Amino acid sequence: MIGVTILIMKKILIIEDDIDTLDIIKYLLDDNNFETFCLKELVPLTEVLDIQPDIILIDYRLPNGPGSEFCFKLKNDPVFSSIPVILMSTHTQLKELAQESCADDYLAKPFDLDDVLAVLSKY
């Protein structure tokens, strides 16, 4: 019997309100065989559940609340706690914000596109 390779695409949920940043990340991930879902603001956890992402990239500053608070909610909910969450921001204390919000990792903006792929490859 011939072996069959099955490619399983990782689902990445990107929550980013800056359209240019969102488009760049989406293009990069789509080009690297990720399945992307994009949101421009925070949504109820039920919507995240509907998407069933493997990884979440979330901006710290969003129009309807801090991404760090949303991250904290996700990481403290048993349904979502195992999903890696990566906090993104230009904030000077991003590392501390990521730790306080229980984020699995962080990306400082502006970032190199290779940095995005390197962080995602950890998860």
Q: Which domain holds residue 30?
A: 11-121
103 inside domain:
yes
5 inside domain:
no
* pLDDT (average), residues 3-32: 86
- Find tokens 């800056």 and name the residue: 18
4 inside domain:
no
Rounded to two decimals, what is the model's pTM? 0.90
For residue 117, the domain's CATH number is 3.40.50.2300
Give per-residue pLDDT as tens, 106-116.
Answer: 999 999 999 99
Specify the number of domains making up the chain. Answer: 1
Residue 8 has pLDDT above 80, yes or no: no
Give the SS3 label for residue 50. helix
Q: Residue 91 contacts by C-beta under 8 Å, 6 or more apart in sequence?
A: 60, 61, 97
Are the CB atoms for 85 and 104 separated by under 8 Å?
Answer: yes
Give per-residue pLDDT as tens, 78-103.
Answer: 999 999 999 999 999 999 999 999 99
111 inside domain:
yes
